[in-house]
Amino acid sequence: MAKSNKVHIIGAGLSGMIAAYNLAKEGYDVLVLEKYGKIGGSVAHHPSTHGTPMGIEYIWDYIGIDLSKYFMASTRLDMFIYEDKFSLIENNNFICERGPRKTAVDRYLYDKCMEVGVKFEFNQDIKDPLDMPDPTIIATGLHKDMQAFLQRPMTRLPVFASRRKLNPGEMDGHLYAWMGDYTRCYGYSAAMNDLQFINFFSDDDLTVIDLKNYEKHIEKSTGLQFDNWNYCEVYAPTASADAPQLFVGSKILSGSLAGSMCPIAFFGIHGALVSGKIAALAVYDPEKAEAELKRVTSNYQAAHKAYVKSKRMAHKTKLKLQRMVLKHPFWGGLLPKPKYAIAGIIDPDPGPIPKYMGTI
């Protein structure tokens, strides 16, 4: 039986809209079904700004759309591990805004999708995607219910997050990262478009005491203060070394739901972009798409193995090792080249290796 020319996509996030845009350009009739009432996702999470490592020119060519206007090169990354500060330039990180504002990458992708004829329906909370007609792409991100329904291997990540408005141009391109006893993972902040978003998360429980200790670390290291913190829990499908998966039955997975994210640092933006293109390919060439997902996640199992080992390690020991690596003047040379892999997503064009600026 010939495949239908109509494609349903569940989820209007990055991967869903990249898939929709590419399929519409191929002549498909695309309908995107979004849980929330407008583009940009939950108001509990967005607007927000995030840093992500990626080889930016390669990504735009790969996904078929230039998003460079919505990704700002990081001018500096300041990382704090306990009392030590490490500053990196040429750090391959880019900042983007997520959410409904006109300055957000989500809003731009929505506008581009509309230009090529993609249709959107909002307030569509699909409970059983397996009942949807084929072909259907499922791109619902870090939400628990869909991952549980599809029996994806979930990692629970409690998150505290806040944001503050900045003056025009203030702190643009600046990234911070913090590590301490208050979380087994890390916290970060990114500034862009007069907005600074900050959060911290863990793969273990977080408490208000942890939040207070995080606030103390932030203020002592940078002088910054944040209030109006929100708490939420997200779920990353990274609890298995075999998490990358393109199909559940006849349905196509995309974005973090497909396991296209980092099982160590939980980076997901560049994986969402890449897997959106792969999901589109899966509609008309599933074998090629499966091979491509396997290629771009070929380092995933090794990364997951490293994560499992780090979880068995005492937290203070892990942070001590991280500080030792960062204090080495040639630590950038430890990064794999030429296939620079972040979280198992291969990026053949990484840009320059980060320059070490030392402990301050």
337 within some domain = yes
1 within some domain = no
pLDDT digits (tens, 9 = 90+) for 213-267: 999 999 999 999 999 999 999 999 889 999 999 999 999 999 999 998 888 888 8
Q: Contact 37/123 with Cβ under 8 angstroms?
A: yes
Q: What is the pLDDT of residue 339?
A: 34
pLDDT digits (tens, 9 = 90+) for 64-95: 999 999 999 998 889 999 988 888 766 678 99
pTM, to two decimals: 0.89
> What CATH number should be reported for the domain holding residue 199?
3.50.50.60
Q: Is pLDDT at 197 greater than 90 in this prediction?
A: yes
**Long-range CB contacts (within 8 A, 24+) of 126-130:** 126/10, 126/33, 126/35, 129/10, 129/251, 130/248, 130/249, 130/251
Q: Which residues of 91-111 are buried (b: 16+ CB within 10 A; e: fewer)?
A: bbbbbbbbbbeebbbbbbbbe
pLDDT digits (tens, 9 = 90+) for 15-43: 999 999 999 999 999 999 999 999 987 77
What distance in Å separates the CA atoms of residue 48 and residue 190, rounded to the nearest whole number?
A: 9
- Quick one: pLDDT band at residue 176, thresholds 50, 70, 90? very high
192 within some domain = yes
35 within some domain = yes
316 within some domain = yes
Q: Contact 73/57 with Cβ under 8 angstroms?
A: no
Number of structural domains the chain divides into: 1
pLDDT digits (tens, 9 = 90+) for 214-223: 999 999 999 9
Q: What is the mean pLDDT of the chain?
A: 86
HSE-CB of 182 using CA atoms within 13 angstroms: 23
| Residue of 147, 335, 167, 157 lying closest to 259 (CA atoms) | 147
Q: Is pLDDT at 149 greater than 60 in this prediction?
A: yes
- Quick one: pLDDT band at residue 162, thresholds 50, 70, 90? very high
Q: What is the pLDDT of residue 346?
A: 43
Q: Provide the residue range defining the domain that includes 342.
A: 6-359
Q: What is the pLDDT of residue 53?
A: 83
What distance in Å separates the CA atoms of residue 243 and residue 73, rounded to the nearest whole number?
A: 30
Q: Is pLDDT at 329 greater than 50 in this prediction?
A: no
Phi-psi region of 69 (alpha: psi -120 to 50; beta: other; left: phi over 0): alpha
Q: Is pLDDT at 320 greater than 60 in this prediction?
A: yes
Q: Is pLDDT at 352 greater than 70 in this prediction?
A: no
Strands (E), the chain: 6-10, 29-33, 48-53, 71-73, 76-81, 84-89, 93-98, 119-121, 136-138, 155-165, 174-179, 186-192, 195-201, 230-236, 247-248, 251-253, 340-342, 345-347, 355-359
321 within some domain = yes
69 within some domain = yes
As given in the structure block, the two tokens for residue 92 are 């391959």
Q: Contact 100/42 with Cβ under 8 angstroms?
A: no
Strands (E), 146-224: 155-165, 174-179, 186-192, 195-201
What distance in Å separates the CA atoms of residue 256 and residue 267, rounded to the nearest whole number?
A: 10
354 within some domain = yes
Rounded percentage of the chain residues whose pLDDT exceeds 90 = 67
